[in-house]
Amino acid sequence: MSEDEGQQKARAGCTALVNFRGQEEAHSIMMPITRQQVEILLDNPAQRNYVVSAYADMRVRDGFRRHLELSLNNEARSAAAALAEAAARKDLDANIAVIREAVAEASPTARGLAVFSGVSRGLRQVIPLEFPVENRLVIDEEPFLLPLLEHWYGEPSFLIALFDANEAHLFERHHGRPEPVRDLEREDVAQDIQRDKPRFTVKKRFASTHHERLHGNDDAPFLHELSDAIAGRWKDGNFAGLILLGQSQETAALRGILPKGLDALVVGEAPHAMTGGAGDLNDVVSRLVDDWRLEQQRQILAELNERRKQDHLVANGATEVLDALQQGRAAQVLFGIRRDMPGARCPDCGYRFGAPIGECLYCGARCQSVNAAQDILRLAVRHRVPVVLFRAPARDDTLGPAGGVAALLRAGDNWAPRAEVPQESKDHAQVF
């Protein structure tokens, strides 16, 4: 079956699932946040003019309008000196007009909306969100991306294959819900042959057919076709793992055919009937994802503790993690639930620090206060470093003493600043 035919069948399958879910849920199907959307906001050149970042809870639109006006008044008071200039105030009014227009034109299916406007630098980015966000308005020299980045890493995507000997359905799980992307069907499924009779009858007749039941799953052309479809979809996506749903003998046969790299990325498998509804599928996938997440965190914390005991290739706290990211030494970043991490950024050399400092340790320029948690996630996206967000504090308080963030490293320090950077202020060293 060609790719186009597979996509047509996927659309038909999606229609069937829409009918099963009901009209209201069907209208809420939206595309997930893409890497390109995030990178456009990350790739802004260093500029001194500001950007207005707005997050709107679209479930109550009038509520955001009220919040918008209140936030404007608060921001204007807190940044009175900067906004007192006529040009700055004019730009602010133009940016707010962009946000109001985006909210008015937003799709009714969107549960949230992120708008980034910087008229002086030609920036206008509107991202409809499938998940709700708190109403928020931020005026800064950089786009405020923490809610997007937190969701980007907190809700990883998965590729799902539901299949049997006759047909297969591929799904992508974004934001906690599987969506159909492609259907496959064995080419000879409609042929009128005696494939279900015992193998010892009419041996010559059966010897000439290529049916899977007669030659075994390992040689099944349909499973090879499914393996190729999974590999192609994986190459085009950004998935944390692969989930296989089917009978044990068939999932085992498929894993034997999958490329070795893909087989190692299977995060779970379970039996599932082809006639089950969308709710049943989501329940099974959610259970497998939860089990995988718990096991992943257990293994990561065990490795982190071992590295700490040996003081080997580990970064503790926002300062050390930011240094490792900017020096290309970070292999994986681990976040607790804390996000109130004060940091600093040098507007001249661009270096980012994990503690509030007044003067850059490298060029001597005056630093600006920033959120170090956002800077860590920004750099992780830019350098494609995996991030694990722990939904709840670890039982043994593993990340608490480190200020809520740590990193596994691939190499030790390769250079250091001319002066010691403070690790954490006493007021922000509390256990998360």
The tens-digit pLDDT sequence of the chain (432 residues) is 454 554 444 444 443 443 333 333 433 445 567 777 777 787 765 566 788 999 988 877 666 666 666 765 666 555 545 555 555 667 888 888 898 888 888 888 888 899 999 988 888 999 998 888 888 888 888 899 999 898 888 888 899 999 998 899 999 998 778 889 999 988 766 655 555 555 555 444 444 444 444 445 545 788 999 999 999 999 888 888 999 999 999 999 999 999 988 888 999 999 988 877 777 888 999 999 999 988 998 999 899 999 999 999 999 999 999 999 999 999 999 998 888 899 999 988 989 999 999 999 999 999 999 999 999 999 998 898 999 988 765 455 567 777 889 999 998 876 655 555 555 543 443 332
Q: How far apart are CA 116 and CA 54, in angstroms?
A: 6
Beta bridge partners of 54: 115, 137
Q: How far apart are CA 262 and CA 223, in angstroms?
A: 15
Write out the DSSP string of 355-419. S--SB-TTT-PBPEEEEHHHHHHHHHHHTT--EEE-SS--TT-SSGGGTTEEEEESS--S---SS
Asked if residues 408 and 304 have their Cβ atoms less than 8 Å apart, the reply is yes
Distances (CA, A) of 78 to 8, 84, 173, 339, 357: 54, 11, 42, 22, 21
Q: How far apart are CA 115 and CA 95, in angstroms?
A: 10
Residue 401's pLDDT is 73
Residue 18's pLDDT is 36
Neighbour count for residue 61 (Cβ, 10 Å): 14
Residue 390's pLDDT is 85
Residue 360's pLDDT is 93
Instruction: Report strand pairing: 405-409 vs 136-140.
Output: unpaired
Q: Name residue, tokens 């809700």.
A: 155
Instruction: Report strand pairing: 241-245 vs 266-270.
Output: parallel
H or E element that contains 327: none
Asked if residues 432 and 399 have their Cβ atoms less than 8 Å apart, the reply is yes
Residues 6+ apart with CB under 8 A from 397: 431
Q: Name residue, tokens 């800077």.
A: 375
H or E element that contains 127: strand 123-129
Beta bridge partners of 269: 244
DSSP state of 51: E
Residue 25's pLDDT is 42
Neighbour count for residue 45 (Cβ, 10 Å): 5
Neighbour count for residue 168 (Cβ, 10 Å): 26
CA dihedral over 265, 271, 274, 278, signed as positive or negative: negative
Instruction: Report strand pairing: 387-389 vs 330-335.
Output: parallel
Q: How far apart are CA 161 and CA 6, in angstroms?
A: 14
Residue 212's pLDDT is 45
Count the helix, strand and coil residues of the chain and give each as a percent rounded to the nearest 5. Answer: 45, 20, 35
Asked if residues 370 and 350 have their Cβ atoms less than 8 Å apart, the reply is no
Q: How far apart are CA 387 and CA 401, in angstroms?
A: 19
Asked if residues 338 and 321 have their Cβ atoms less than 8 Å apart, the reply is no
Ramachandran area for residue 178 (φ above 0: left; ψ -120 to 50: alpha; else beta): beta
Residue 396's pLDDT is 55
Which tokens is 92 given?
């602010």
Write out the DSSP string of 129-198. ESS----EEEEESS---HHHHHHHHHS--EEEEEE-SSEEEEEEEETTEEEEEEEEE-TTTT----TTS-
Q: How far apart are CA 324 and CA 334, in angstroms?
A: 13
